[in-house]
């Protein structure tokens, strides 16, 4: 069996080696992230069948837990690692041509570090190690948002950084309180000791941890940074932030709530928070003119839906939540990638400037439309079985409160459909008039290249489209993996036992 | 108004933290994990400084992450500042002879002191990060006192990358020879001598070089900006 | 008296944390907010170190043979603080570089004027 440490160590080593490679050949730096993500994808797909029922516990340094840091490569961890690697690979292929100006070597280093941080967060079994890899993820995303150095990027970067740094300090205080009371940092050991004390006496550390992790997970009201950051960043960065970074943040929240604390009494509160996030996100998205800001608010809405599904806390609910998460990663990344070239061609981020783009860039707009339909939840795309699973899980609980909440969530879906259909209508059914608006972005050449997006952008987009359609038509391909992942998240005792044997 | 809301919010948080702190005794006996490290640490890792053996050996993965974070910050800072306008070289007064000579005289002892700190990290208080910070302060002294000297960007970039690569490579060698990532596959040696502790001094030397060149690079970027 | 002695350290650490949070929440100048972030980081690190203290303990270094292991403090919080200090420095460095660029773009560091990203 392959050692799961390679999933973290090899991309890290390759990222450290990029400056050395850049000395040999200037253009070599942009091929390193696809190679590293491809390697990660292969390793995680090889690991996945083996860890489906027995998580692989790897201790770093050869010591016994809890005296060492252990990696817990269970179905959740390896599934997330595979998704991070897949999205990372496709977006890095897109970035081969998209990132052309500025210090490109540094972009690729930061990008690879973001993916490494995300993989580390999902695989670790130690709470301080979670903090360290979480910081790797956050700091590389601050730097990537501000990467282009333009006015909106730097402003968004500063606001994101300050909110994120305050969140991390709160997270560290929470970890300190836990260590002071229980004397261990290993998540399974903490879970065992917390089980004997009862989780409600640990209200303050739990709130601190959820708040600290929730800033990155974009839970309302901690998500003020997200619309600015995701809309001002370059489109490949927006794709990976919306597709990977906030999902990994939500995974961290779920891991802390389910496994470490086992706090069944706050699930209802989290469900309310999820629906509130959903409503705020969808309603703000509806009123947007800027397409990337609209997509960013839509990300907030989807995170709210995933949080609600996870807070249902039955096997069906968590499976639905994880399925919705996978579907969001694929669809939202596709939407941002397509929007990137549409904006470049139109010269502006306003939706009205994209009129008639369906004729000028047929393939890109087709991909965008597929992504939009999938996010809204139309069959035969992946959004449909995932949303259906969530609704069915909410109805199966037989409690009125969840039925009320899911109806509110469906209202949010209707609003989502409204604004996405409006964009699709602008793309295809309006005339070819092209209005100049005040929100133009600076371009290097005088005219953008005619025709569709280049091949390096179309290939990843259509791989996303293919995955969306295939998994949408045959959801059985992924549901048993998701089911094992859900049961790993929910069964604390199995987790504790597997780490200590 | 805004400060009133802030104070109210902080008062609520303070109340919560006060309640939580009641369960965390101050000055109580060591935790089980701490006791294990202090009792068994010298035999298991060979280093006399238990904090070093915790940082590098027992929790070495955190140190790898920390080194990565510093690298990311230095890279991000370089990327953000490289897109800006460079201010025209302002004519500042050259430093006086006493300042100039004093800085040049102090620079080598500071470097040696920093190197001493990170080479002896496993024997006395100190380590890679502390020694690297001292080395960077020596470079800062040179930048402030003798303005015409600069370190070459390629040399510091090379030192950073090599330091990180050496750390990851030692981890992978531990995987190959010891069947665990970052396992201590070199002989432990006798306690309290320079060549004890297995891989610990090697990792700390790599970290010392890396942190020193990284912080010096950050200072260089910031000083050149303004 | 011993209660005061015990909790004086926690009070000091959390005092710094609350000062830092107050500065971040209320000040308008970006450099002051960044300084507040630094104070917050320092407070958190002090709090973490306080966790490891055992009464009458000394540094956990066996510099000569025969030192009593019972009188040594817990090494784990010290290792955590090492990592946390470096991460705090990294975030501050990045924040300062962003502040420099922000000043070049906007000509001011007043956070109320740097609000181009509207609703």
Tens of pLDDT, residues A364-414 = 888 999 999 999 888 888 888 888 888 888 888 888 888 888 888 888 889
Whole-number Cα distances in Å, B211 to B58, B155, B207, B216, B219: 21, 14, 6, 8, 12
* Residue A481: pLDDT over 90: no
pLDDT tens-digit readout, A215-224: 999 888 888 8
B49:C96 CB<8 A: no
pLDDT at A439: 42
Q: How many domains does chain A have?
A: 1
pLDDT tens-digit readout, A314-326: 888 899 999 999 9
Nearest to C62 among B17, B48, B80 (CB): B48
Cis bond before residue A380 (omega within 30° of 0):
yes
pLDDT tens-digit readout, A8-31: 999 999 999 998 888 888 777 888
Residue A225 contacts residue A141 (beta carbons within 8 Å): no
The Cα–Cα gap between C41 and C43 comes to 5
A466 occurs within a structural domain: yes
Band of residue A118 on the pLDDT scale cut at 50, 70, 90: very high
For residue A136, list chain B residues with Cβ-Cβ distance below 8 A: 65, 68-69, 72
pLDDT tens-digit readout, B63-118: 999 999 999 999 999 888 887 666 655 656 777 888 889 998 999 999 999 999 99
Tell me the pTM.
0.94
pLDDT at C97: 93
The Cα–Cα gap between B120 and B201 comes to 8
B124:C21 CB<8 A: no
Residue A228 contacts residue A160 (beta carbons within 8 Å): yes
Three-class HEC string of A138-187: HHHHHHHHCCCCCHHHHHHHHHHHHHHHHHHHHHHHHHHHHHHHHCCCEH
C87:A132 CB<8 A: yes
Task: Decide if C13 touches A, using CB distance below 8 A.
Answer: no
pLDDT tens-digit readout, A297-352: 999 999 999 999 999 888 888 999 999 999 999 999 999 999 988 888 888 888 88
More confident residue, A33 or A499: A33
The Cα–Cα gap between A49 and A348 comes to 46
Token couple for A446: 């005088």
The Cα–Cα gap between C15 and C40 comes to 9
Using DSSP, state whether A386 is helix, strand or coil. Answer: helix
C72:B222 CB<8 A: no
For residue C11, list chain B residues with Cβ-Cβ distance below 8 A: none
pLDDT at B90: 60
Average pLDDT over residues A27-44: 89
pLDDT at B91: 58
* Percentage of chain A lying above the pLDDT 90 cut: 39
- A:B CB pairs within 8 Å: 167
The Cα–Cα gap between B67 and C87 comes to 9
- Whole-number mean pLDDT of chain B? 86
The Cα–Cα gap between A449 and A23 comes to 32
pLDDT at A327: 93
* Residue C50: pLDDT over 50: yes
A192 occurs within a structural domain: yes
The Cα–Cα gap between C96 and B77 comes to 9
For residue B73, list chain C residues with Cβ-Cβ distance below 8 A: 89-91, 93-94
C94:A173 CB<8 A: no
Nearest residue of chain C to residue A146 (CA atoms): C98
Nearest to B33 among A61, A67, A144 (CB): A67
pLDDT at B88: 55
A329 occurs within a structural domain: yes
* Residue A79: pLDDT over 50: yes
Task: Decide if B101 touches A, using CB distance below 8 A.
Answer: no
Tokens 């981020």 -> residue: A349
CA quadruple A241, A247, A251, A254: dihedral sign = positive
Minimal Cα–Cα distance from C18 to chain B, Å? 7
* Residue A85: pLDDT over 90: yes
Ranges of chain B with pLDDT below 70: 84-92, 226
Question: Among A131-135, A207-211, A441-445, which is the least confidently predicted range?
Answer: A441-445
Domain C2-56+68-106, CATH 1.10.287.3510 — does that match?
yes
* Residue A58: pLDDT over 90: no
Return the domain boundaries, chain C: 2-56+68-106
Residue A248 contacts residue A84 (beta carbons within 8 Å): yes
Residues 6+ apart with CB under 8 A from A72: A55, A56, A57, A123, A124, A125, A187, A188, A495, A498, A499
The Cα–Cα gap between A468 and A160 comes to 31
Instruction: Note down the domain range covering A66.
Output: 6-440+447-500
Return the domain boundaries, chain B: 2-225
Minimal Cα–Cα distance from A287 to chain C, Å? 9
- This model of the complex carries an ipTM of 0.94
Using DSSP, state whether B25 is helix, strand or coil. Answer: coil
A468 occurs within a structural domain: yes
pLDDT tens-digit readout, B153-162: 888 888 899 9
Average pLDDT over residues A132-159: 92
* Percentage of chain A lying above the pLDDT 70 cut: 95
CA-nearest of A141, C45, A136, A32 to B71 is: A136
For residue B191, list chain C residues with Cβ-Cβ distance below 8 A: 62
A1 occurs within a structural domain: no
Minimal Cα–Cα distance from C105 to chain A, Å? 6
- Whole-number mean pLDDT of chain A? 87
Three-class HEC string of A196-250: HHCHHHHHHHHHHHHHHHHHHHCCCCCCCCHHHHHHHCCHHHHHHHHHHHHHHHH
Band of residue C2 on the pLDDT scale cut at 50, 70, 90: low
pLDDT at A225: 92
């Amino acid at each position: 069996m392959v050692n799961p440490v390679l999933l973290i160590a090899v991309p890290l080593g390759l990222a450290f080696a990029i400056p050395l490679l850049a000395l040999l050949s200037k253009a070599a730096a942009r091929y390193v992230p696809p190679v590293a993500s491809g390697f990660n994808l292969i390793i995680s797909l090889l690991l996945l069948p083996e860890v489906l029922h027995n998580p692989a516990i790897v201790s770093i340094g050869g010591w016994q837990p809890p005296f060492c840091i252990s990696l817990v490569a269970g179905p959740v961890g390896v599934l997330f690692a595979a998704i991070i690697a897949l999205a990372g690979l496709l977006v890095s292929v897109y970035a081969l041509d998209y990132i052309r100006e500025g210090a490109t070597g540094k972009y690729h280093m930061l990008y690879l570090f973001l993916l490494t941080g995300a993989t580390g967060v999902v695989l670790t079994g130690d709470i301080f190690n979670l903090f360290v890899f979480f910081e790797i993820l956050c700091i590389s995303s601050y730097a990537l948002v501000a990467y282009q150095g333009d006015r909106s990027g730097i402003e968004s970067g500063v606001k994101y950084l300050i909110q994120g740094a305050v969140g991390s300090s709160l997270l560290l205080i929470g970890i300190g309180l836990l260590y002071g009371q229980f004397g261990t940092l290993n998540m399974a050991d903490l879970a065992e000791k917390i089980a004997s004390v009862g989780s409600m006496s640990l209200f303050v550390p739990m709130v601190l941890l959820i708040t600290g992790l929730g800033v990155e997970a974009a839970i309302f009201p901690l998500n003020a940074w997200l619309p600015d950051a995701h809309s001002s960043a370059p489109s490949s960065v927006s794709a990976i932030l919306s597709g990977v970074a906030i999902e990994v943040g939500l995974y961290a929240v779920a891991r802390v709530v389910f496994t470490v604390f086992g706090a069944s009494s706050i699930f209802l509160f989290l469900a309310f928070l999820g629906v509130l996030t959903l409503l705020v996100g969808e309603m703000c998205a509806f009123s947007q003119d800027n397409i990337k800001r609209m997509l960013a608010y839509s990300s907030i809405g989807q995170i709210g839906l995933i949080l609600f599904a996870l807070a249902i806390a039955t096997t069906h609910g968590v499976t639905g939540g994880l399925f919705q998460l996978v579907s969001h990663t694929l669809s939202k990344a596709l939407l941002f990638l397509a929007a990137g070239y549409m904006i470049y061609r139109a010269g502006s981020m306003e939706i009205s400037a994209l009129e008639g783009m369906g004729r000028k860039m047929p393939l890109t707009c087709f991909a965008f439309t597929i992504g939009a339909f999938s996010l809204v939840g139309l069959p035969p795309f992946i959004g449909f079985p995932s949303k259906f699973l969530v609704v069915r899980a909410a109805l199966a609980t037989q409690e009125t409160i969840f039925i009320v909440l899911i109806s509110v969530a469906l209202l949010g879906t209707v609003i989502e459909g409204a604004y996405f259909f409006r964009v699709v209508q602008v793309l295809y059914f309006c005339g070819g008039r092209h209005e100049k608006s005040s929100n133009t972005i600076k371009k290097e050449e005088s005219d953008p290249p005619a025709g569709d997006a280049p091949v390096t952008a179309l290939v990843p987009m259509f791989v996303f489209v293919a995955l969306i359609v295939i998994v949408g038509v045959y959801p059985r391909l992924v549901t048993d993996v998701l089911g094992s992942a859900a049961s790993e998240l929910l069964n604390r005792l199995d987790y504790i036992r597997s780490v200590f044997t | 108004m805004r400060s009133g809301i802030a104070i109210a919010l902080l008062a609520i948080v303070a109340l919560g933290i006060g309640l939580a702190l009641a369960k965390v005794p101050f000055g109580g006996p060591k935790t089980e994990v701490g006791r294990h490290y202090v009792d068994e640490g010298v035999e298991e890792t060979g280093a006399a400084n238990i904090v070093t053996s915790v940082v590098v050996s027992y929790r070495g993965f955190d140190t790898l992450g920390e080194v990565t974070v510093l690298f990311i910050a230095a890279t991000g800072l370089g990327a953000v500042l490289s897109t800006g306008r460079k201010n025209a070289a302002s004519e500042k007064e050259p430093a006086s002879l006493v300042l100039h000579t004093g800085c040049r005289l102090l620079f080598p002892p500071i470097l040696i002191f920093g190197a001493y700190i990170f080479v002896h990290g496993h024997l006395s208080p100190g380590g890679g990060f502390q020694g690297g910070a001292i080395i960077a302060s020596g470079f800062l002294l040179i930048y402030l006192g003798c303005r015409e000297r600069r370190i070459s960007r390629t040399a510091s970039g090379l030192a950073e990358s090599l330091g990180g690569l050496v750390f990851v490579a030692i981890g992978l060698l531990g995987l190959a020879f010891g069947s665990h990532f970052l396992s201590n596959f070199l002989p432990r040696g006798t306690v309290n001598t320079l060549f004890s502790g297995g891989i610990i001094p090697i990792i700390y030397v790599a970290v010392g070089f890396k942190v020193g060149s990284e912080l010096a690079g950050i200072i260089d970027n910031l000083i050149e900006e303004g | 008296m011993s209660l005061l002695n015990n909790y004086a350290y926690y009070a000091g650490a959390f005092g710094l944390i609350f000062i830092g949070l107050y500065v971040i929440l209320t000040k308008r100048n970006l450099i002051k907010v960044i300084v507040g972030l630094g104070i917050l980081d320092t407070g958190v690190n002090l709090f973490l170190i306080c966790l490891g203290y055992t009464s009458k303990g000394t540094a956990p270094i066996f510099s000569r043979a025969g030192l009593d292991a019972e009188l040594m403090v817990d090494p784990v919080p010290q290792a955590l603080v090492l990592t946390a200090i470096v991460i705090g420095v990294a975030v501050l460095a990045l924040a300062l570089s962003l502040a420099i660029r922000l000043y070049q773009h906007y000509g001011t560091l007043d956070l109320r004027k740097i609000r181009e990203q509207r609703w």
